[in-house]
Structure 1
Amino acid sequence: MKTLHTNTAGPNSAKASRVRWGILAMLFLITTINYADRATISIAGPEIKKLLGLSPVQMGFVFSAFAWSYVLAQLPGGWLLDKFGSKITYFFSIFLWSVFTMLMGTVGFFTGAAAVALLFTLRLLVGAAEAPSFPGNSRITSAWFPTQERGTAAAIFNSAQYFATVLFAPLMGWLVHTYGWQSVFYVMGGLGIVMAFVWQKTIYGPKDHPRINAAEMDYIEKGGALVDLESRQPVAAAPKLDTWPIIKQLLGNRMLLGVYIGQYCITTLTYFFLTWFPVYLVTERHMTILKAGFIAALPAVAGFLGGILGGFVSDRMLKAGYSLSAARKTPIVCGMLLAMTMIVCNYVTADWLVVAMMSLAFFGKGIGALGWAVVSDTSPKEAGGLSGGLFNTFGNTAGITTPIAIGYILQATGSFAGALVFVGANAAVAIFCYLVIVGEIKRVEFKHGPAARKADAPVAFNTAASK
């Protein structure tokens, strides 16, 4: 059912600056580095596995190390974002994860259990340091983008996960082949340190940016951007939030819970791609690590294009008058249906067909990766960091379960066939979440006083703040 939306652009919107797109470009670049650093272990994985003599289950635990700390640090990361803002919190996040990535190159100086322990510990540290990144992306897009552009904005920064593979998987494969696996960590860690200082010089909130003009500010604010969210000046009468009661009540909201569980399922596909996919190409399809690095880039190109298309279609549907629920759910459901086609790889032998099916699956995964747009649309503005952190906690729990589950499947069966079914089944559950559990997509608002105690209140927070 269509609902009409009012065009919030004023008469001066044609003369408005476009600073927000420069901010989005920086989010895209940083997220590309973010995902490239996550993927270093998968590219170097076959060589590390051989060097340290690890079993599939042991390798699964090494692959999962990042996600253990990443998940545990989500809520503290969200609290830091809400407390100190995205600019400074994100700077330290980028700098620290890059330092820890660089240090992973030193694992080669150790042997046996010491090497495995150091590798696992450094991956834990990378995960903890990266925790504020995606909640930070969500906060910044909420502050800079009106509702009718937020799907495109979220799709663009989220599609960086595929662009990272397109750009860096061939490079990292070449580095491993030419200079050894350690070089991957040195190069990517050094690049991240440089980008941390670039971030510090380029990121501002809308009210603090030196180049935004009044027309752009008016356009984004009237369109629903939370322009005070990243301001250096504190918002008047900002409430003191009780963290655990808020978390409890966020989890008690059926819509948000459905979104969170759906993100877990969608992120299962991401972590298969980030961890076991290059190993699948090398061991199941008998490719060299150099060839696997280049082949892995092809599904990533499809995922990148799908990600951009999903956001574009969602925002076009909004502008055409469709409801927010229809505009967000349609690409997600269609994308997950396409993602399930990866199971077909179990029934084909030609490498080109495998690459084609994986490309179609990740094209679909890209189309359906609108979860961060939904979080920006729905999170209470007073607790956007916490809501984003909770969303990312659910999502990246898949980073723990997926590598380990696939490791056990491989050890039990000696084949990736069951692993592909496992990943495809998660896409089906994501469809169920959005069609059955989520319901209408709308922003959760604080309720106060007697209204907060009404049974029909969508979510109630114990706070004295006004809406």
Structure 2
Amino acid sequence: MDKNKYVLLSSVSDDGYVDLNIWTRTEKQRWLFSLFIGTSALYASRTSMPLVIPAITKELNLSKTDSGTILSSFFWGYTLTQVFGGYLSDRIGGHKVIIAAAIGWSLVTFWMPIIITFLPKESMGVSFIVCVRILHGTFQGVHFPSMSSLTSQNLIESERASFFSILMSGSAFGTLVTGTLGSFVLDYFGWQAVFYTIGFLCIAWTLFLRYYVVAKDIRRESIGWIVNMVPWLFSIPSTFLGKWLSEYLIRVGYSVTTTRKIIEVICLGSQALALIAIGLVTEYQWALVCVSVAIAATGFHNCGITVNPQDLAPKHSGSVFGLMNTIGAVPGFLGVYLAGYILETTKSWVAVFQATAAINILGCIVFVIYGSAKPIV
């Protein structure tokens, strides 16, 4: 069983419980790419000051003590927000903290040349730069705890280590970006351009994260009502289509028994195919199509087995239908326990849908072989 298959809006964690927050494969790829780039941007922003501090020291005639204080002050703020960032992320969501913090450290990076250039070069100016660097570290201090919280809440346990290790490698990539792109910009355009370039890239990433990656998740959460409503809309016209097809087959010469069997083959067969297909798709739209087909097929059922008691016992159809419906209600509670057992055993919704499809196929075969519409009482 492919554990990377995720059905509709839910997945199963390693302990067998369904978790609606688990990312689908597509979402996981989108978040992996975005957070890797974000971690790279974070480190590019962090290492931009160490790259340009010699040029700033020379231009502003700073002492070694001043330049050392400016560099080390980043970590004063960085250490302060680690625990707080993790706590806040667990409470309100890691993505919210990541975005809010990214806005802060991206703007600080972009505005750093303005802050340095227009401040007086006396000790008061250096003190303000130190304060800004502390603020820079404060914003960046929440990134990794927030990212840890985000991934732990949206990935199954077996995937978290590999996923997070890839994200952490973004720190090396970001440092490499500063060493290559930053050095090139520094040599040809000056130290101010380094902050502007890296700051702009950081702001662009923040906007991408908020208005593309997170926005897609928000849309995913907001379309839950579609799953509950749209598929059932198709069952209404399919009922009329099944009625028309049933009457047409009888009118052109098919027996009532053959007609009922054809209708049930369409119903149970299309349901089985749709349920199997759900386990093969990874996009929400296609999963919705499969569910719609499965539920729409129930409309044909209304013109097949549902009216069969009237064929078998015209004078006792109420009693026969009651007996049939009683048996038909058993899956209403037995199926829930069976689905839970399958989920706990296989940790996959795919197996649940496949088991349901197998039951449909078995029922279809049994009805085709033994089904009848000839009156018996």
TM-score by length of 2: 0.49
Give the structure with the larger helix fraction. 2
Query: Which of the pair has more CA radius of gyration?
Result: 2
